[in-house]
């Protein structure tokens, strides 16, 4: 044992080229630190020791269903959220009283109403009254923002365990402006653009950046094809939590008990020929149709995060590691370009380069913006939305971020050593973008941020 400790000390000393003292005391005082100056620009930065990493131990979602006519049309929002919260407890044997906070991303419901529903859902799921709940709204990135908020709170030391979740019932709360609009908005173009229908911003992106109707329809067909293949092969089974609910016959009022476990908006037989027949929705001579836009959906998702040292102490499986998050602002008139700005920001913040990212989950709000962002960043199509995206699966606004995290991390786990880093990103109404970087849970150790360096030529076991 002593020889092993001595070897570790020598190795750590070598990994610190600026370290000049040879005293045992100095070595021992730095043995827990993990910032490594031997790493190059592609090695992510660490500001704390290995055990302080924020990790994801579980991530689950409901199926996503078409609003007003899908499997959750008669399901209360709190009955969507409760099953995924309960799953985090049951699948990890978590003591629910250990959770420091539950943060739920949600968009359309009145704030006080949704906050109450989320608190109710936590009780239904088995959380005690001592566990607080709050909601957060950054529109389409609300679910991802909830995850980022919990990660930041754990990093700050507010608590060691938290849940970032997302919830939206677009059946119960359809998209609509309530109340009057301040007439002052007419005096400023950018403020006016915040009120543009999202479909018009899609047309703006397509027109300004030359994204053709054929490219958009092709992207939609690919989304359905990949989602159908993922469903048929059972890829979503690990992330989807079946929900017991009811379907009410609108004519007779009869209730039928059902269990929903499959996304019901996927069209396996979608074709370019069929999509080409659809008329533009937002502009007479436009290219944005119901077929190449995200689906209006109902659903929920939840992500359990904790400090790595706590996860290890509790023997929890580590599904992923939260590395960085970035939210950016862009022109409201072309809000769909948000991921093209947010992704490089988040990747840089993680100390990585775009080429280091093995998988992307980019929300397909509209095919126009999805195609633009993919082309603008020069991303390999084989790395993006490999199991389909929102045009096929659906986009329940507040839940999408949590859904994407679950989909990404489970796919990274399946791919194993061939998939180390992943990104979740989406555009945001009123002109923003958000992105977060995750690392596969079993792909890192205390020395994994050490890469080959021309000056020092030191390596860790996974140096490239």
Selecting among 373, 419, 427, 444, the annotated active-site residue is 427
C-alpha 363: how far from chain center: 9
Q: Report residue 176 as tokens.
A: 């609509």
d(CA 315, CA 302): 20
Q: E strand or H helix at 134, and its extent? A: strand 133-136
CB atoms within 10 A of CB 54: 24
Buried b (16+ CB within 10 A) or exposed e, 23-45: eeeebeeeeeebebebbeeebbe
Adjacent-strand bridge partners of 325: 436
| Number of C-beta neighbours around residue 252 at 10 A | 7
Which entry of 118, 395, 444, 448 is annotated as an active-site residue? 395
Active site residue 140: yes
Alpha-carbon span 132 to 108, nearest angstrom? 22
Q: Which of 140, 373, 404, 444 is catalytic?
A: 140
CA 71 to chain centre: 23
3-state SS track over 201-257: HHHHHHHHHCCCHHHHHHHHHHHHHHHHHHHHCCCCCCCECCEEEEEECCCCCCEEE
CA pair distance 274, 293, nearest whole angstrom = 15
Cβ pair 43, 449 in contact under 8 A: yes
Q: Which long-range contacts (CB under 8 A, 24 or more apart) does 269-273 make?
A: 270/220, 270/221, 270/224, 270/225, 270/392, 271/221, 272/214, 272/217, 272/218, 272/221
| 194 catalytically annotated | no
Length of the chain in terms of residues written: 464
Our answer to whether residue 118 is catalytic in this structure is: no
Q: So which residues are the catalytic ones?
A: 140, 395, 427
């Amino acid at each position: 044992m002593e020889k092993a400790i001595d070897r570790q000390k020598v190795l750590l000393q070598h990994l610190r080229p600026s370290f000049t003292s040879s005293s045992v005391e100095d070595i021992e005082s730095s043995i827990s630190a993990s910032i490594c100056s031997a790493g190059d620009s592609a090695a992510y930065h660490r500001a704390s020791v290995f055990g302080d990493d924020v990790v994801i131990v579980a991530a689950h979602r409901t199926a996503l269903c078409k609003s007003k006519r899908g499997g959750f049309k008669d399901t209360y929002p709190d009955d969507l959220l409760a099953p995924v919260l309960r799953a985090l407890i049951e699948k990890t044997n978590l003591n629910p009283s250990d959770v420091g906070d539950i943060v739920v991303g949600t968009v359309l419901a009145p704030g006080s109403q949704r906050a109450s529903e989320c608190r109710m859902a936590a009780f239904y799921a088995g959380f005690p009254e001592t566990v607080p709940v709050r909601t957060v709204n950054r529109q389409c990135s609300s679910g991802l923002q909830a995850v980022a908020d919990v990660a930041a709170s754990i990093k700050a030391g507010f608590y060691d365990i938290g849940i970032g979740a997302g919830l939206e019932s677009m059946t119960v709360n359809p998209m609509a402006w309530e109340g009057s609009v301040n007439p002052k908005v007419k005096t400023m173009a950018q403020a006016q653009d915040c009120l543009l229908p999202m479909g018009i911003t899609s047309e703006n992106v397509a027109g300004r950046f030359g994204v053709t109707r054929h490219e958009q329809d092709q992207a939609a067909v690919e989304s359905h094809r990949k989602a159908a293949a993922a469903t048929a092969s059972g890829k979503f089974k690990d992330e989807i939590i079946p929900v017991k609910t009811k379907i009410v016959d609108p004519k007779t009022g009869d209730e039928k008990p059902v269990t929903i476990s499959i996304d019901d908006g996927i069209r396996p037989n979608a074709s370019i020929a069929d999509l080409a027949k659809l008329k533009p929705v937002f502009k007479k001579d436009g290219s944005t149709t119901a077929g190449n836009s995200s689906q209006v959906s109902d659903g929920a998702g939840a992500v359990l995060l904790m400090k790595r040292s706590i996860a290890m102490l509790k023997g929890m499986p580590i599904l992923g590691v939260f590395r960085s998050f970035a939210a950016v602002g862009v022109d409201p008139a072309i809000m769909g370009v948000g991921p093209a700005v947010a992704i490089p920001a988040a990747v840089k913040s993680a100390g990585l380069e775009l080429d280091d990212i093995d998988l992307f989950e980019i929300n397909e709000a509209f095919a126009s913006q999805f195609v633009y962002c993919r082309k603008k960043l020069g991303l390999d199509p084989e790395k993006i939305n490999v199991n389909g995206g929102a045009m096929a699966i659906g986009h329940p606004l507040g839940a999408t971020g949590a859904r994407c995290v679950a989909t990404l991390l489970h796919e990274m786990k399946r791919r194993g050593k061939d998939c180390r880093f992943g990104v979740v990103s989406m555009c945001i109404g009123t002109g923003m973008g958000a992105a977060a970087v995750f690392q596969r849970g079993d792909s890192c150790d205390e020395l994994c941020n050490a890469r080959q360096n021309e000056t020092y030529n030191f390596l860790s076991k996974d140096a490239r």
